Amino acid sequence: MSEIICRDLTLGYENSILVQGLSFDIHSGDYLCIVGENGAGKSTLMKTILHLQKPISGDITYGDGLVPSEIGYLPQQTVVQKDFPASVWEVILSGRQSRLGKRPFYSHADKKEAMSNMERLGIADLKGRCYRELSGGQQQRVLLARALSATSRMILLDEPVSGLDPMATLEMYQIIQKLNKEGITVVMISHDIFSSVRYASHILHIGEEVFYGTVEEYADSSIGKRYLESGGMSEKCDHEDGDRGIEHSSERSLQGNAEDENGKA
């Protein structure tokens, strides 16, 4: 049962093509990590899967009765959120917005679902707290609970552990693993190749060379071996927080530029 089928995708922006000839399937219950150098098109791919951006060519089809709004998305944090007066409860409840339809307010069922997701991630005690005053790990859990409120099938995570301390990172990976074992399909962009290989079932490596397959196949492939050997190195380069800050503050168009530049560099 394929939930998402990508065929011969070409991704990028008007003047620059980032990825070509991308074909892969995401099956129900998979844990897919998307890895690759900065600017290789990982975020672009994720936006394309979410229908936030159109592919230059190729098709993305949803199978198994999945609709785009049923995908729970955990985007990277934005600068706006750092100063936003919102309670944890308000943030998590907003995950139900795709279920609002034409109703102006959230129903009792929406609230129940949001509450059960809080309990599932062990953050029920944070309910009334202010989002901006939480630690990085707690904030990510809140956003994950929001993503879960939107879906019971698939979550897309854009670098969920960036900026977290080692303890919080480990906890985050364990939570995601637990959710995957409960039957939720996980698609994650990751800079952390070692954790990807450790937790994921499939790897999609994009860049000049494209690889898609199971973790075992990846570890045996030439590209996988090379990347795993140098993984520790490029890891460090990728974690410049200043760089990331610019990406957050800029809107769609600017982010496009930033990616273009990275791609050329």
Partner 1 sequence: MEKLELYFSYPFVRYAFIVGVLIALCSSLLGVTLVLKRFSYIGDGLSHVAFGAIAIASVLGVTDNMLLVLPATVVCAVLLLNTGGQAKIKGDATIAMISVGSLAIGYLLMNVFSTSSNLSGDVCSTLFGSTSLLTLTLTDVVLSIVLSVAVVTLFILFYNRIFAVTFDESFARASGTAVNAYNLLIAVIIAVVIVLGMNLVGSLLVSALIIFPALSAMRMFKSFLSVTVCSAVLSVVCATVGMLTSIIWGTPVGSTIVAVDIMAFLLFLAAGKMRR
Chain residues that interact with partner 1, rule: CB under 8 A: 50-52, 68-69, 71, 73, 75, 78, 80-81, 83-87, 89-91, 94-95, 97-98, 100, 104-106, 128-130, 133, 146-147, 150, 156, 251-253
To the nearest whole angstrom, how small is the minimum distance from the Cβ of residue 81 to partner 1? Answer: 7
Comparing CB distances to partner 1, the nearer of 33 and 74 is 74
The residue with tokens 């897309």 is 156
Select from 121, 131, 187, 139 the least CA-distant residue to 159. Answer: 187
C-beta closer to partner 1: residue 42 or 205:
42
Cα 17 to Cα 226: distance, rounded to the nearest angstrom? 24
DSSP 132-172: GGS-HHHHHHHHHHHHHHH-SSEEEEESTTTT--HHHHHHH
Q: How far is the CB of 197 from partner 1 (least distance, A)?
A: 27
Q: What is the three-class DSSP state of 113?
A: helix
Residue 40 CB, nearest distance to partner 1 (Å)?
20
Give least dist CB 16 to partner 1, A: 17
**DSSP state, residue 77:** P
In whole angstroms, the minimum distance from the beta carbon of 198 to partner 1 comes to: 27
Nearer to partner 1, 128 or 242 (CB): 128
For residue 122 the two structure tokens come to 């062990």
Do the bridges between strand 2-13 and strand 16-27 make them parallel or antiparallel, or are there none, so unpaired? antiparallel
Of residues 51 and 178, the one with the C-beta less far from partner 1: 51
Smallest gap from Cβ 75 to partner 1, in A, equals 4
Write the DSSP assignment of 58-76 as a string of letters.
Answer: EEEEE-TT--GGGEEEEPP
Which residues sit opposite 158 in a β-bridge?
Answer: 189
| Between 51 and 181, CB nearer to partner 1 | 51
Q: Which is nearer to partner 1, 150 or 215 (CB)?
A: 150
